[in-house]
Amino acid sequence: MSNKQVLVVEDDSNIREVLKLALEFEGYEVILAKNGREGLDMLPSSKPGLILLDLMMPVMNGWEFVEEIKKHPEYKSIPIVVVSAYSERAKAIECNKFVQKPLELDTLLQAVSENFKE
Protein backbone atom coordinates (compact mmCIF):
# COMPACT_ATOMS: atom_id res chain seq x y z
CA MET A 1 0.00 0.00 0.00
CA SER A 2 1.47 3.37 -0.96
CA ASN A 3 1.62 6.20 1.51
CA LYS A 4 -1.05 8.69 0.57
CA GLN A 5 -1.35 10.39 3.98
CA VAL A 6 -1.52 14.15 4.34
CA LEU A 7 -1.29 15.74 7.78
CA VAL A 8 -3.39 18.92 7.92
CA VAL A 9 -2.37 21.23 10.78
CA GLU A 10 -5.02 23.97 10.91
CA ASP A 11 -6.89 25.56 13.82
CA ASP A 12 -9.97 26.67 11.83
CA SER A 13 -12.45 23.76 11.88
CA ASN A 14 -14.20 24.90 8.69
CA ILE A 15 -10.94 25.06 6.73
CA ARG A 16 -9.85 21.70 8.17
CA GLU A 17 -13.09 20.11 6.96
CA VAL A 18 -12.85 21.65 3.45
CA LEU A 19 -9.24 20.48 3.14
CA LYS A 20 -10.17 17.00 4.37
CA LEU A 21 -13.01 16.62 1.87
CA ALA A 22 -10.98 17.97 -1.08
CA LEU A 23 -7.96 15.79 -0.31
CA GLU A 24 -10.02 12.65 0.27
CA PHE A 25 -11.78 13.26 -3.06
CA GLU A 26 -8.30 13.24 -4.66
CA GLY A 27 -7.49 9.89 -3.02
CA TYR A 28 -5.45 11.01 -0.01
CA GLU A 29 -5.86 9.75 3.53
CA VAL A 30 -6.15 12.82 5.77
CA ILE A 31 -4.97 13.21 9.35
CA LEU A 32 -6.22 16.33 11.14
CA ALA A 33 -4.53 18.38 13.87
CA LYS A 34 -5.82 21.58 15.50
CA ASN A 35 -2.39 23.04 16.27
CA GLY A 36 1.31 22.37 15.90
CA ARG A 37 1.62 20.46 19.17
CA GLU A 38 -1.17 18.08 18.16
CA GLY A 39 0.45 17.69 14.74
CA LEU A 40 3.83 16.80 16.28
CA ASP A 41 2.16 14.30 18.60
CA MET A 42 0.59 12.55 15.58
CA LEU A 43 3.82 12.12 13.60
CA PRO A 44 5.14 8.99 15.36
CA SER A 45 1.95 7.03 14.59
CA SER A 46 1.43 8.37 11.08
CA LYS A 47 3.63 8.52 8.01
CA PRO A 48 2.47 11.55 6.05
CA GLY A 49 3.86 12.15 2.60
CA LEU A 50 3.11 15.85 3.06
CA ILE A 51 2.11 18.35 5.74
CA LEU A 52 -0.32 21.22 5.09
CA LEU A 53 0.49 23.82 7.72
CA ASP A 54 -1.27 26.96 8.90
CA LEU A 55 0.95 29.55 10.62
CA MET A 56 -1.28 31.39 13.08
CA MET A 57 -2.53 28.83 15.62
CA PRO A 58 -2.86 28.56 19.38
CA VAL A 59 -0.71 26.25 21.55
CA MET A 60 2.06 25.88 18.91
CA ASN A 61 2.13 28.02 15.78
CA GLY A 62 3.48 27.04 12.36
CA TRP A 63 6.93 28.56 12.87
CA GLU A 64 7.39 26.63 16.14
CA PHE A 65 6.12 23.45 14.46
CA VAL A 66 8.70 23.70 11.66
CA GLU A 67 11.45 24.47 14.17
CA GLU A 68 10.56 21.30 16.11
CA ILE A 69 10.10 19.04 13.10
CA LYS A 70 13.52 19.97 11.69
CA LYS A 71 15.14 18.60 14.88
CA HIS A 72 14.02 15.07 14.01
CA PRO A 73 15.86 13.32 11.16
CA GLU A 74 12.89 11.01 10.52
CA TYR A 75 10.53 13.97 9.93
CA LYS A 76 12.64 16.75 8.45
CA SER A 77 12.36 15.39 4.90
CA ILE A 78 8.53 15.50 4.90
CA PRO A 79 7.44 18.23 2.46
CA ILE A 80 5.59 21.15 4.05
CA VAL A 81 3.07 23.30 2.20
CA VAL A 82 2.24 26.42 4.21
CA VAL A 83 -1.36 27.62 3.88
CA SER A 84 -1.71 31.12 5.32
CA ALA A 85 -3.07 34.62 4.81
CA TYR A 86 0.26 36.02 6.03
CA SER A 87 2.33 35.88 2.84
CA GLU A 88 5.09 38.26 3.97
CA ARG A 89 5.60 36.48 7.29
CA ALA A 90 5.44 33.10 5.58
CA LYS A 91 8.61 33.88 3.64
CA ALA A 92 10.56 33.48 6.88
CA ILE A 93 9.57 29.83 7.24
CA GLU A 94 11.37 26.88 5.67
CA CYS A 95 8.81 25.13 3.50
CA ASN A 96 8.42 23.55 0.07
CA LYS A 97 5.52 25.71 -1.10
CA PHE A 98 3.30 28.56 0.08
CA VAL A 99 -0.43 28.78 -0.74
CA GLN A 100 -2.23 32.04 0.03
CA LYS A 101 -5.52 32.17 1.95
CA PRO A 102 -8.30 32.59 1.03
CA LEU A 103 -7.76 29.25 -0.63
CA GLU A 104 -8.28 28.33 -4.23
CA LEU A 105 -8.67 24.56 -4.06
CA ASP A 106 -7.18 23.94 -7.51
CA THR A 107 -4.00 25.80 -6.51
CA LEU A 108 -3.81 23.92 -3.22
CA LEU A 109 -4.36 20.51 -4.80
CA GLN A 110 -1.70 21.25 -7.40
CA ALA A 111 0.77 22.21 -4.63
CA VAL A 112 -0.01 18.96 -2.81
CA SER A 113 0.42 16.87 -5.96
CA GLU A 114 3.70 18.56 -6.94
CA ASN A 115 5.28 18.29 -3.46
CA PHE A 116 3.91 14.99 -2.20
CA LYS A 117 6.63 12.53 -1.19
CA GLU A 118 5.72 8.88 -1.90
CATH number given to 5-115? 3.40.50.2300
**pLDDT at 91 > cutoff 80:** no
Burial 28-50 (b: 16+ CB within 10 A, else e): bebbbbbbbbbbbeebeeeebbb
For the cut 70, the answer to whether the pLDDT of residue 66 exceeds it is: yes
Give me the mean pLDDT over the 66-85 stretch. 91
Confidence of residue 50 (pLDDT cuts 50, 70, 90): very high
Q: What pTM value is reported for the model?
A: 0.91
The residue extents of the domains of the chain are 5-115
Mean pLDDT of the chain: 89
